[in-house]
Amino acid sequence: MRVEVDQERCAAVGRCAGIAPEVFDQRDEDGVVILLDATPAARGPVREAALLCPSAAIVVHEHRGGSHV
Domains and CATH numbers, the chain: 2-61 (3.30.70.20)
Model confidence pLDDT, tens digit, residues 7-45: 999 999 999 999 999 999 999 999 999 999 999 998 999
Task: Answer whether residue 47 shows pLDDT above 80.
Answer: yes
At 63 the pLDDT is 78
C-alpha dist (Å) from residue 43 to 9, 56, 60? 22, 17, 9
pTM: 0.89
Helix (H) or strand (E) holding 52: helix 43-52
Structure confidence at residue 69 (pLDDT): 45
